[in-house]
A and B are shown apart, each in its own frame.
Chain A
Amino acid sequence: MTNHRLELLRDLYSRMVTIRLAEERLADLVTAGEVGCPCHLYIGQEAIAAGVCAALETDDTVWGGHRSHGHYLAKGGDLGAMFAEIFGKVLGCAEGRGGSMHLLATDVGILGTVPIVAATIPLATGAALASKLRRDGRVAIAFFGDGAMEEGHCHESMNLAALYALPIVFVCENNFYASHMALTGRRAADNLVTAADAHAMPGEVVDGNDAVAVYDAAVRAVARARAGVGPTLLECRTFRWRGHVGPSWDMDVGVKRRDELQQWLDRDPIRLLRRVMESAGVAGAAFDEVDERVRAEIRAAEAFARSAPCPPADELDTHVYATGAR
C-alpha cells in the first residue's frame, strides 16, 4: 500500500471516529435529558459521509437533511459550533435558531441542512447550476436517504441536472428504512439505482459500509462532475443502527429489523476500515491515539457549548429578513 493511500485511510478513520464518538456522546446527552432537540443519529453510516467528503475540495458544497451530523463533521464543520447549536446556544452554527437538523458551515461549503425530506436535492442542483454559470469548478453533493427517492422533486432534480450536465453527485444513502417503514414496504422493488438510467446518468451501487469503496466511487463521480460531463447517482447501501430519531435501537418496529441489525452490526464500517489498516501494518496504538484526540475534542466542544449563553428572548424576531445581502 502506498503512503498516499495509507494517509487516506487514516483520514477516513479520523472522520468516521469523530462522527461516531460525537454522536454517541449526543445519544447520552439525549438520554440524560440534557439535549431536548430531536437528534437523528448517523451511527452506522459513517463510511459514506467520510468517503464522499474525503473526495471533495473545501469549496465544494454539501447538502444534507435531518440526519446530517455526519455530513457536517466529515466536511470539516466545527464540532463546538455543532454542539452549541444542538444545545440551543448563541454560539451554535445557527445561533440557536435551528438545532440538530439545521447545520451550517459556510467556510467548508455547508450552506444549510434542513429536515424536509428531499428538499435540499433541488437546492444542491441549484448550487451546481450556479457553479456551471460561474464556471467556478465547484461540485455540489446532494446527500439524501432512500425515502427521499420517493419524492417527486428528487426526480425532477435529477432530470434538470442531467439535462444541463450540472456538476453534482447524487448520493443516496440507502439505509433501508424511512422512519419505521422498510424499503420493501414502500417500493415495488429494491432498485433505487435504476433511477440513474431513467435520467440518463451513470449509476453505481456502492457498499456503503466500505469507506474506501465509497471514496473511490466518489472520486470518479466528482471528477465527472468537475469536468462538466454531468451528474452521477451513487446508491450507497448501509444501515442506520439507531432509531429514526433519538438514541434508541428501534427494536420495536419489527422482528425483521432486529435480525437485520445484527448482520449490520457485524459489518461496522469503522471496524472494517480498521481491519484494512491493521493488515496494512497500522499499529493499535495509532488508533488509540486518534480515539483519544477525538474524545478530547468532543469534551472541549461540549464544554464550549455548555458555557455559551442562550439567545436573548428580545432577539426572537431578528433574522426573519436578511440584511447583509449585496
Chain B
Amino acid sequence: MRTLTYAAAIREAFAQLLEADPRVFVIGQGLWSPWYVGQSMTGLDVEFGRERILDSPVAENATTGAAVGAALAGMRPIVVHPRMDFMLLAVDPIVNQAANWSYMFAGKVPAPVVIRGIINRGGEQAAQHSQALQAMFMHVPGLKIVMPSTPYDAKGLLIAAVNDGNPVLYIDDRWLYEAAGPVPEEMYQVPIGSGVVRRPGTDLTVVASSYVAAQAVEAARTLEARGFDPEVIDLRSIKPWDRELVFASIRKTSRLLVVDGAWKTCGVAAEIAAAAAEHVFEHLSAPVARLTLPDAPAPMSRPLERAYYIHAPRIVEAVEHLMASRRPQRALVLS
C-alpha cells in the first residue's frame, strides 16, 4: 500500500471531504499559510477556493460559534485551532452549544461540526503553547473525541468525524506529522469509539492514544528485547472509548498501564483506571498504573522539557515497574 505522512494523510482527508460533499467547509486561523498547521492543509485554499477554506480573523469564539451555527443550519463545517491552548477561547460554542444542542432540542437539530484542535508542544514553547486538553472535553456529554496516532487513522477518523452527525473533537499532534505509514487512496472511515490492538501480548495491557500510543508501540520493541510481552492498545477515540477491547485485554493480562500525554488529575488515564477498577477488578493482579504528565504547566527550558514529556523510554520504565509490582495477597479474589 502507498505510504503517506500523518500530515499528508490529514490533508488528503480534507481534500476528499471537500470534493465529496459541498456542505463541507473549513474555517480557522492560518489556513492559507504554507506552514501554520504544518503540511496538513497546504494548498487546499488554491484547490477548493478561499470561500470554502476561510483563513479567519483572530476570533476563536466567533469562528467556532459560526461553525456550530452553520452545522445547525445544515452544513458540515470543520473549524481548525492550530493550537489547542487558543481553543479555550471557544469553550462556550463547543461545550455549552454544540455538545448540548442535540439534547436540549430532543435530537431534532443535530450539530455536525468537527473541531480540530492541534497539540503543538516542545521546542521551548512553554505553558501556553503546549497543552493537551482532551480530558477537559472528555468530561462533557454530547461530544465525541478522536486522537489518531497513525496516518491511516488520521485520515479515516477525520472522514468519520465529518460524517458522524455529532460534534466531534479531532485532536492531532504535531509530533506525529512526519510519521509515515500505509494510507489507502480511497475514502474510508475508521469507526469512532473503536480501539485497536497494536501489539498483542500476554504480560500486561498498555492503553494509550495519539503520540503516546505511537511511543508505546516503540517501547514494546525494547520491552520485547528485554523479555516482556506487552499488549498495546491504541484507543484512537477517547470518547466514547473502547471499553470492551480494554477489559478483554485486562482479563487476559491482569495488569494495566494507562499512558496519556496530559495531566494526571481527572485525566483520561484516571477515567480508564476507574472503569477498570469498577468492571474488571477481580482480574487485576497488580495496582493499575498511570503514566501521565505531572500536574504542572509545560515548562520552557530544555532539561525541564525532557523531564516533563513522555517518550518511549519512560513507557519502558513504567512497564518494568508495573511488572515488578503485585497486588497484596489479602486482596486477591480467586475466580
Contacts and interface: CB of A to CB of B under 8 A. Distances in A.
Interface of A: 61, 63, 94-98, 102, 104, 106, 111-112, 114, 116, 119-127, 129-131, 133-134, 152-153, 156-157, 159-160, 163-164, 318-326
B69 A102 contact: no
A233 to B, nearest CB: 15
Contacts, number: 153
A276 B69 CA distance: 39
A127 B70 contact: yes
Determine which residue in B52, B63, B100, B105 has the highest number of CB atoms from chain A within 10 A of its CB, and name it.
B105
A125 B62 contact: yes
Interface in B64-81: 64-75, 77
B69 A126 contact: yes
A160 to B, nearest CB: 5
Contacts of A324: 107, 110, 165
A130 B166 contact: no
Contact of A102 (B56, B59, B77, B105): B105
29 contacts: A94-B108, A102-B104, A104-B108, A104-B109, A112-B72, A116-B92, A122-B61, A122-B65, A122-B66, A126-B67, A130-B73, A133-B51, A133-B75, A152-B61, A153-B92, A159-B57, A159-B59, A159-B62, A160-B59, A160-B66, A163-B57, A319-B106, A320-B141, A320-B142, A322-B110, A322-B166, A323-B107, A323-B165, A325-B166
B108 A123 contact: no
Contacts of B62: 121-122, 125, 153, 156-157, 159-160
A94 B108 CA distance: 8
B96 A119 contact: yes
Contacts of A102: 104-105
A120 B92 CA distance: 10
Closest 10 CB pairs of A and B: A122-B65, A126-B69, A325-B165, A156-B62, A123-B69, A322-B110, A126-B66, A95-B106, A156-B59, A319-B107
Contacts of B61: 122, 152-153, 156
Contact of B65 (A95, A125, A318): A125
Given A127-B73, A160-B63, A325-B165, A97 B109 contact: no
A326 B68 CA distance: 16
Given A133-B25, A322-B166, A126 B142 contact: no
B57 A111 contact: no
B101 interface: yes
